[in-house]
Amino acid sequence: MSAEASAPGKAILVGEHAVVYGMPAIALPLSSIRAKAAYRQTTSPLTLIAEDLARPPLMIDADDTISSVPLARMAALTMQHFGLKSLPGEIRIRSDIPIASGLGSGAAVSAAIGRAIAQLHGEDMPAEALNRLVYEVEKQHHGTPSGIDNTVVVYEMPVYFVKGSSVEFIEVAAPLWILVADSGIAALTRDAVAGVRAQARLAPGPTARAFEEIGAIAIEARNCIEHGQSDRLGELMTANHRLLQALNVSSSELDNLVDAALDACALGAKLSGGGRGGNIIALVDEASASMVRQSLVEAGARQVMLTVAGEGPQIDNSD
């Protein structure tokens, strides 16, 4: 018996941090970078092997509800979901999504594990159920996640997300060319979220105003995406970056990359995800893509990846 499953990375287009406080945000799947879980039958109890994560093999206890290791918690939760008391074999996890870089690595690994176990059980797990389990794991390990990361990773479609509301998928009217540039600095989302929470306590008025402005940006950005208004979308992304700077989640390295993208005529640029490190995204067009990429590399980007949102199958919102 064998099974193989995967899930993509993600980028937050606009709205990170404010989304934790109930504002809307938009996220895109990054389908070309993925976490993969491959199952192989053995006679030992289920073991997770994640060499990329430099962690020793993990033996899974299906009754474990409080494991401090996210991968183990996800495997245990999925087994409980299907009423599996034991499962002999090993799941090998590989991922090309950089860790602690704002690209959804944790959620993607969880989703891939959940899907692999579902396949073994001979059932497709509906996205809604998988999303709920991945969110459980995110909550345990990230404190107060909004739920946007697990949602975009599980559904693998551009999403307009408001915490506590049902997910809405966005129709992308004209393909969005986005460069994702890695600062090479690892930063934990959990720490950035805690920093913003501390700032909200110290300066409640200005922080709440920043959240409101970011929320307004997300609403307008959705409209731009649905009507193919890329120039305005770029301006909104850059305005969002300025507000994230005010929330103290940017860094000199991220600011340098954003400036380098804008100097090379990107339509807009901003940090993406928790910030303090990780990646920036730049909205480009076919004409400017290679110049912006070059400028990002010269400014110190470790890796630059192009993703085009809206070229794949589109969601049918008619029902």
Torsion angle of the four alpha carbons 119, 124, 125, 126, in this order, in degrees rounded to the nearest 10: 160
CB of 122 vs ligand MEV, minimal distance in Å: 33
Between 11 and 264, whose beta carbon lies closer to ligand MEV?
A: 11
Which residue's CB is nearer to ligand MEV, number 20 or number 221?
20
Distance in angstroms (rounded) separating the CA atoms of residues 205 and 197: 13
One of 7, 8, 16, 112 touching ligand MEV (CB under 6 A) = 16
Interface positions, 243-282, toward ligand MEV (CB under 6 A): 273-274
Give least dist CB 18 to ligand MEV, A.
8
Site for ligand MEV (CB under 6 A): how many residues? 14
CA distance linking residue 48 with residue 63, whole number of Å: 16
Q: Which of 50, 87, 125, 148 is close enough to bind ligand MEV by CB under 6 A?
A: 148
CB of residue 67 vs ligand MEV: minimum separation in angstroms? 21
Find, among 244, 13, 10, 15, the residue nearest to 106 by Cα.
10
- For residue 176, count other CB atoms closer than 10 A to its CB: 25
Instruction: Please select the residue that binds ligand MEV; options are 119, 146, 183, 230, rule is CB under 6 A.
Output: 146
Selected range binding ligand MEV among 10-18, 113-121, 177-185, 252-260, rule: CB under 6 A? 10-18
Footprint on residues 182-241 left by ligand MEV (CB under 6 A): 189, 193
For residues 25 and 12, give the distance between their C-alpha atoms in angstroms, rounded to a whole number.
8
Hey, which residues between 86 and 145 contact ligand MEV (CB under 6 A)?
102, 145
Of 17 and 293, nearer to ligand MEV (C-beta) is: 17
d(CA 35, CA 9): 8
What single-letter amino acid sits at 278? G
Q: Report the SS3 class of residue 40.
A: strand
Q: What span, in angstroms and rounded, lies between the C-alpha atoms of 64 and 43?
A: 20
C-beta closer to ligand MEV: residue 19 or 93: 19
- HEC profile of 54-75: CEEEEECCCCCCCCCCHHHHHH
Binding region for ligand MEV (CB under 6 A): 12, 16-17, 19-20, 102, 145-146, 148-149, 189, 193, 273-274
